[in-house]
Chain A
Amino acid sequence: QVQLVQSGAEVKKPGASVKVSCQASGYTFTSYSMHWVRQAPGQGLEWMGIITPSGGSTSYAEKFQGRLTVTRDTSTSTVYMELSSLRFEDTAVYYCARGESGSWYSNLDYWGQGILVTVSS
């Protein structure tokens, strides 16, 4: 069955960077896109970016341009999300979510369990 297993919680200081992972299993990794979505405490869902595992093409929400880097390792079926220059308002749960097809425009059908990233001085 499809599983997305994310790495553990992180605590970072303002200005630092965080790199979290999402390991996929149960399907052909290179056939589906992967998205990152975050949720601040008590708030709604915010889309951050996408990577196409086959070619590694990416697209990021404008508000994260310059701070967000999404990469993948096809040998381990893992996608990484690195967010730099962390601010207090980056405190959130970060989810990876699979795009339902290889298309850039597809539903997010499976989600990881989420990673709490806390930015605190």
Chain B
Amino acid sequence: DIQMTQSPSSLSASVGDRVTITCRASLGISNYLAWFQQKPGKAPKSLIYGASSLQSGVPSKFSGSGSGTDFTLTISSLQPEDFATYYCQQYNSYPFTFGPGTKVDV
């Protein structure tokens, strides 16, 4: 199975901050990488697919980059509604696997 790691596991930030989360795959996954946002008690929401493509309806403050084994999610200017947990996920091979999550709080 492909192992996904994320760093940091949590971070504290302020409104207006630029935030970057890193995701690493144990094997190369090309660009088969997605990012999800999850708020407490809610289902995950798709933000980014194909490592850098923005899901329809997702604001452009979210961006993704990377290929192969190293990926990043950037939030350009953090807003109150962005405080959540973020997961990366590879869909290059089965079983699909998720990173452990990065909690972004105040």
Contact of A46 among B44, B50, B98 (CB under 8 A): B98
Count residues of chain B with CB under 8 A from any CB of chain A: 23
Give the B-binding residues of A (Cβ under 8 A). 35, 37, 44-47, 50, 59, 61-62, 95, 97, 100, 104-114
Residues of A close to B38: CB separation below 8 A: 45
Give the A-binding residues of B (Cβ under 8 A). 32, 34, 36, 38, 43-46, 49-50, 55, 87, 89, 91-92, 94-101
Describe A's contact surface by its main secondary structure: strand
Q: Are B43 and A114 in contact (CB under 8 A)?
A: yes
Q: Are A47 and B49 in contact (CB under 8 A)?
A: no
- Once A47-B97, A61-B95 are accepted as A-B contacts, the answer to whether A107 and B44 lie under 8 Å apart by CB is no
- Once A107-B34, A107-B50 are accepted as A-B contacts, the answer to whether A45 and B44 lie under 8 Å apart by CB is yes
Most chain A beta-carbon neighbours within 10 Å: one of B46, B99, B100: B46
